[in-house]
Chain A
């Protein structure tokens, strides 16, 4: 079948292809012809746009919520992405780590207390450890005044384009960004209720580009440090 130059036939076959009435061998032949004929593909696309609009004649119907849940299940979105370290292992492990670091936190407390005249108001402390379980950051909270202080206690080499971002990781749901730490080694931030609530499983620090993670769902860079809150008073 020679289609070249036969514009009427090309239009007719393209329209029947899109409508669906071109069947069987004729349909397969048309698909083969399209492979080597960009103009024919364009003609077919134009028919898709024209007749595809017929789909809108069917009234919209809101699908049940289970459809979206099924899509998430099919895409394995319930499984945690790689960076969500706290979702891979059991949460109990992280709570244990939080407790284990409490001993360290107590040791560190002395260091922190030395240069803080207002230690009496400190209500909670978290010691964030690196992969080798060495303390890297100390976060202290003052529930009364609604403030927290982040202090880098390890040597953390950052370029001018890098920052550390502090996250509160809840037992369920997305991590909450608490703040971004650049060149400064100490920072005082407001203490939101959701940074220290009972549902916070762990605090974590990720390495991010300047300005912090662009991903509204959580960290975009590697997790460097993590640790749990310890209530002091």
Chain B
């Protein structure tokens, strides 16, 4: 059994290995699926926890996401996206579903300001950076080049499923300003990441 990823789940799992496990899950290989879970669950749970802020909700989302991953593993096209990107999208979408439902029923607590503050601080320490993929490191570098408030706005939208007007309301900024910030930041990220990719 490929034990290395099992024993160190916090470190970044090799995409080729994750892909192999995902293909195994598509062939109904339960051991491969279990290995995939062990290697990727801490990251995906960390994401769900960041979005939802509550353990029991994040656990439910993680559970539902892995049931979906098992059922849809056969639809995963390795040529089109990295395994972690594919699984991240599943977890994020489900977490947003829960978030929307809670907002519609008025259960959602106010946005966690501590979480936002930590998002704004993307200058991760070297020890932490070892655990992120090269894509995440590149993104962190490019985001660090943005203005702090623009970075914050991008993080709010990504992790909290907020529309332009939601962000504008939270930060008491004009809607047009928020739109401009986000669009300009996305263009800059594109240029910065493309430049790094080409380098």
Which A residues are closer than 8 A to B by beta carbons? 11-12, 15-16, 19-21, 23, 45, 48-64, 66-68, 70-71, 74-75, 77, 216-217
Query: Taking the complex as formed, is B57 at the interface, i.e. its CB lies under 8 A from any CB of chain A?
Result: no
How close is A16's CB to chain B, nearest CB, in angstroms? 7
CB < 8 Å: which of B1, B42, B45, B140 contacts A57?
B140
Q: Which of the residues B45, B63, B139 comes within 8 Å of A60, measured between beta carbons? A: B45
Contact residues of B between 159 and 199, Cβ < 8 Å to A: 159, 161-164, 167, 182-183, 186-187, 189-190, 193
CA distance A60 to B84 in the complex (A): 13
Instruction: Give complex CA distance A21, B158 in Å.
Output: 8
Bound Cα distance A121, B159 (Å): 70
Residues of B102-151 at the interface with A, using a CB-CB cut-off of 8 Å, are: 119, 122, 124, 128, 131-133, 135-136, 138-140, 143
Residues of B within 8 A of A70 (CB): 59, 63
The reply to whether B42 and A61 contact each other, CB–CB distance below 8 Å, is yes
Shortest beta-carbon distance from B132 to chain A in Å? 5
Query: Within 8 Å of chain A (Cβ to Cβ): is B5?
Result: no
In chain B, positions 51-73 with a C-beta closer than 8 Å to chain A are 58-59, 62-63, 66-67, 70
A60–B186 CA distance with the chains assembled, in angstroms: 25
* Interface of A: prevailing SS: helix
- Interface magnitude class on chain B: 35 or more
B42 and A63 contacting across the interface, CB-CB below 8 Å: yes
Q: When A and B form their complex, what is the total count of cross-chain residue pairs whose Cβ atoms lie within 8 Å? A: 135
Interchain nearest-CB distance for A76 vs B (Å): 11
The 8 closest A-B pairs by CB, nearest first: A58-B50, A56-B136, A60-B42, A53-B136, A53-B135, A63-B45, A15-B186, A52-B85
- Specify which chain A residues have a CB less than 8 angstroms from the CB of B62 in the assembled complex: 63, 67
Q: Is the CB of A56 within 8 A of B66?
A: no
Chain A residues whose CB sits within 8 angstroms of the CB of B122 once the complex forms: 57
Asked if B20 CB lies within 8 Å of chain A CBs, one says no
Task: Name A19's closest neighbour in chain B (CB-CB).
Answer: B157
Contact among B46, B131, B132, B158 with A20 in the assembled complex (CB-CB below 8 Å): B158
Q: Given the complex, which residues of B lie within 8 Å of A54, measured CB to CB?
A: 136, 139, 143, 154-155, 158-159
Q: Which residues of A contact B58 (CB under 8 A)?
A: 63
B74 located at the interface, meaning its Cβ lies under 8 Å from any Cβ of chain A in the complex: no
Q: Assess whether B133 is in contact with A45, with CB atoms less than 8 Å apart.
A: no
Q: Is B133 a contact partner of A56 (Cβ separation < 8 A)?
A: yes
- A63 neighbours in B (Cβ, 8 Å): 41-42, 45, 58-59, 62
